[in-house]
Amino acid sequence: MRISSVKPFVHPDFPNLVYVEITTDEGVVGLGESYYFGSTVAHFINEFAGPSILGKDPLKREEISKSLTTYVGYNSSGVETRARSAIDIALWDIAGKIANKPIYELLGGKSSRPLRIYNTCAGKEYMRKSNQSSKSWGLDNESSEYEDLKAFMNDAGTLAQELLTEGVTAMKIWPFDLFAEKNWGSEISSTDLKAGLLPIQKIRDAVGDRMDIMVELHALWSPKAAKEIMIALKDFGIFWVEDPIYPDNLDELESLRGAGMPEIAHGETIASRKRVETLVKRNLIDVLTLDLSWCGGLTEGLQFAELAEANGVRIAPHDCTGPVGLTIGAHLSTSDENALIQETVRAAYRTWYPHLVEGIPQINGGTLVVGNEAGLGVKMREDFRKDIQTLRLAVNS
């Protein structure tokens, strides 16, 4: 069997998402996805990645991954790696379809326990376009349903109660980001520190310890400011602090470790196996939040997961991107005994994800269940495909 076409797609309403459809000469079709500046990734697929894999055996994923590892951009989640990630996910979809098994079966089957989820408290328009900043939070949206970002900023206690009613016992919020935007996160005033703690206090007042709280810092802070925030969070029994700093300098990350400090989750933007190895071997993180649509795909992500497990670090695959990203992450976390929890975003899952694809894993209360369809189990909806923009149509053999 050979790869006969590679088509990238970008929908004008979701410009940060890119899809890639790979077809074989025997008519098997695989779907992949990546996220962030979708058309830029699509151009790279059309220009290089697509043509270079035509005629190859789709089951030779390692070989294809190596052939798409570029001289520049190979060790970051830049355009080249995002393209490689989307292609790799599509190849796993093809592999599952050929074997007539869901991907998690190819990974060894379901683990012995239900897959717990947490809710990332974003809104429906969150980060649909452009770069990560409060300008892309979609706060202009006037609806209130599933506007969990507005809810955590204004009334986090009620939001926590609502999530508990649904059976969701963990939530992620980012109440400090706006303050970081004042001065590129170089320092935090005591007033802002107190204001950032307020939603967390409201959650504890409303539901006590029944809700696990993740505090996302989006790598916006200097090590000094991040440390002040993390020390202030010590009293709140935080489940984890995510991406406190850009860990370019690992000694800075080390300065945030220590007795009583909140655990650190990190890794969604990492695409270097060596970097993962260093982080887990030096005990710099507690949870690896890998993103398979950014790190080089499932083929690379499995290497990351293996390194994490061997060094006592749990994994928690990233979402807050798109429905295929959630699904491939769920295949991994469903099959991996070392998966701590799976990220989900109910504002996306219940509103726009189902308009793009069908077959997304089911959220049942506080758990996620992946179906038993062959491959990913997810396919693009025909009505979504109709108005999709195809960038320079197929790369056909």
Q: Which positions touch Mg ion (CB under 5 A)? A: 242
Q: How far is the CB of 256 from Mg ion (least distance, A)?
A: 16
State the DSSP code for 41: H
| Amino acid (1-letter code) at residue 348 | A
Residue 113 CA to residue 277 CA, distance in Å, equals 27
| Nearest CB to Mg ion, comparing residues 147 and 242 | 242
Task: Report, in Å, the least distance between residue 78 CB and Mg ion.
Answer: 18
Q: For residue 261, what are its two tokens?
A: 């400090």
Nearer to Mg ion, 101 or 218 (CB): 218
**CB of 65 or CB of 289, closer to Mg ion:** 289
Cα distance between residue 230 and residue 224, in whole Å: 10
Minimum distance from residue 115 beta carbon to Mg ion (Å): 19
Shortest reach from residue 243's CB to Mg ion, in Å: 6
CA–CA gap between residue 297 and residue 290 (Å, rounded)? 10
Answer yes or no: are the C-beta atoms of 96 and 102 closer than 8 Å.
yes
Compute the least distance from the CB of residue 319 to Mg ion, in Å.
9
Least CB distance to Mg ion at residue 179 (A): 18
Q: Decide whether 93 or 242 has the Cβ nearer to Mg ion.
A: 242
Tokens linked to 130 = 């452009």
Q: Could you tell me if 340 and 317 are in contact, meaning their C-beta atoms sit under 8 angstroms apart?
A: no
CA–CA dist 278, 249 (Å, integer): 12
Residue 9 or 304 with smaller CB distance to Mg ion:
304
Evaluate whether 207 touches 229 at the Cβ level (below 8 Å).
no
Closer of 23 and 119 to Mg ion (Cβ):
119
Q: Residue 240 class from Cβ within 10 Å (0-12 exposed, 13-18 middle, 19+ buried)?
A: buried
- Is the four-CA dihedral 305, 310, 313, 314 of positive or negative sign? positive
CA–CA gap between residue 29 and residue 378 (Å, rounded) = 11
- For Mg ion, give the closer residue by CB, 41 or 127: 127
Give min distance, CB of 3 to Mg ion, in A.
Answer: 33
